[in-house]
Amino acid sequence: MTASTGTTHGGRRSIGFILLVALANAGGVIAFLPLLSLLLPVKVAAIAGEDGRIGLFTATVIAGALTASVSNIAFGWASDRARATGKGRRPWALLGLMLLALSFAAVALASTATGIILAIILFQIAVNALLSPLFAIMADEVPGDQMGVAGGLIALGSPLASAVAALMIALGIAGEGPRLAFVFAAVLLCVLPLLRVRSRITASTLPAPARLLGRDLAIAWTARLLVQVAGTVLGLYLLYYFASIEPDAPTSKHIGPIGQLMTVAYLLPLPVAVLLGRWSDRIGRRKPFLVAAATIAALGLIGMGLARDWNAAAIAFALYALGSAVFLSIHSGFAMQLLPSPQHRGRDLGLINLTNTLPALAGPLLTWLLATPRDFGAVMLVLAVLTLLGGLLVLGIRQQG
């Protein structure tokens, strides 16, 4: 890995480099999505039993979310300091990979409620040590007029992570240890190529006064927060949601079908997100795409709340995944353009990342209050309202877009 000189350059970046950035960020998604969406729910059900699974799972993800909130900001600040001294952000991502290996081992060995909670706390420290500098590298090294297509390619993360999970199941890999080792190998393949590329900081020009950017960033932050509550609930409880559709079947029965569904549902939005991101680059506007995408996601959630069979629920989830992926990918590039200070991008992106971690506190609590092992209808309808509000809120951003 070549150390960064921190040199600032102008000009556009090649599509090859942007693909490496997207692939590395996909590696970060691979690090957490198969574990939190498929492997952890089954492990928690084995520890707590079918009746106690939602309670222990909620406690586990809340502890992890609290840890993630602090860790992402801390590692972002640390990578800012490293960038300022010429060391670059990449060594922090490498540290995240090493911590991730340790945390996967801890998850595999955990056999009690306390053990799994502590293992997930360590896991969240590791995954945020990895993701925080990776996202800041995108803000540093991709020009603003290429953020739309870069944000669209960020949507690669979820389908690739789902494909890794589906391949793991298709290969018949059994046991938590071998499965987590397979996931870790996939993370390495995605992240290491970017870490070997020398950093090149792009020239930064602020399109508006910092105070205006700060106000707009706060609105963008709140909009993403509202939309991400649904993403968090479905990312964590999707297995349990489909188990509520077929309550007489064991939880583990749904791993294979849901892994396949997630792969398809997260893959289909990718070309749409890239095309719309590129379109938004060309016309210089993001807000119409964001409002439309949030509306589509809300309709999908309403469909999930009303579904009474597996096929209808799967179609509604695919509709939600389309809208959500487009919203979050375009929003990522939009928010990076609103960052008020290039010197504090890691820290500020850590604050933006609270839109991922705070929903991991609110979402599980909302699910615990409104859902039962046999009925997720009410929580889906509430999530639809929050998602639509998040989409409409971006209309209050004054910055052109």
Residue 2 lies in a domain: no
Torsion angles phi and psi, residue 209, rounded to 5: -60, 150
DSSP 247: T
Torsion angles phi and psi, residue 372, rounded to 5: -130, 165
CATH classification of the domain holding 325: 1.20.1250.20
* Cβ-contact 366, 189 below 8 angstroms: no
**Which residues on neighbouring strands pair with residue 164, listed in sequence order?**
none
Torsion angles phi and psi, residue 9, rounded to 5: -130, 155
Residue 34: name the closest of 189, 199, 163 by CA.
Answer: 163
Residue 1 lies in a domain: no
The total of other beta-carbon atoms located within 10 Å of residue 184's CB is 18
Q: pLDDT digits over 320-378, tens only?
A: 999 998 998 888 777 766 665 556 666 667 677 676 677 777 887 888 788 776 788 89
Q: pLDDT digits over 29-62, tens only?
A: 999 988 988 889 888 888 988 677 778 988 898 8
Residue 136 lies in a domain: yes
DSSP 89: S
Residue 3 lies in a domain: no
Domain encompassing residue 241: 8-396
Look up residue 44 and give its amino acid: V
Residue 43 lies in a domain: yes
- In angstroms, the Cα distances linking 193 to 25, 80, 229, 289, 322 are 11, 22, 32, 32, 28
Distance CA 166, CA 201 (A): 37
DSSP 396: G
Residue 109 lies in a domain: yes
Q: pLDDT digits over 119-169, tens only?
A: 999 999 999 999 888 888 887 888 767 777 777 787 778 778 888 888 888
256 contacts: CB under 8 Å, gap ≥ 6: 169
Residue 401 lies in a domain: no
Q: pLDDT digits over 57-97, tens only?
A: 888 988 998 898 889 888 888 888 878 787 778 899 999 99
* Cβ-contact 328, 231 below 8 angstroms: yes
- Output the six-digit token pair for 378: 């009410």
Residue 200 lies in a domain: yes
Give how many domains the chain has, as a whole number: 1
* Cβ-contact 309, 245 below 8 angstroms: yes
- In angstroms, the Cα distances linking 224 to 26, 265, 335 are 19, 21, 10
Distance CA 320, CA 12 (A): 33
Enter the pTM of the model: 0.71
* Cβ-contact 230, 338 below 8 angstroms: no
Q: Could you give the dihedral angle defined by the CA atoms of residues 93, 95, 101 and 103, in that order, rounded to the nearest 10 degrees?
A: -100
Which range has the top average pLDDT, 246-255, 314-323, 366-375?
314-323
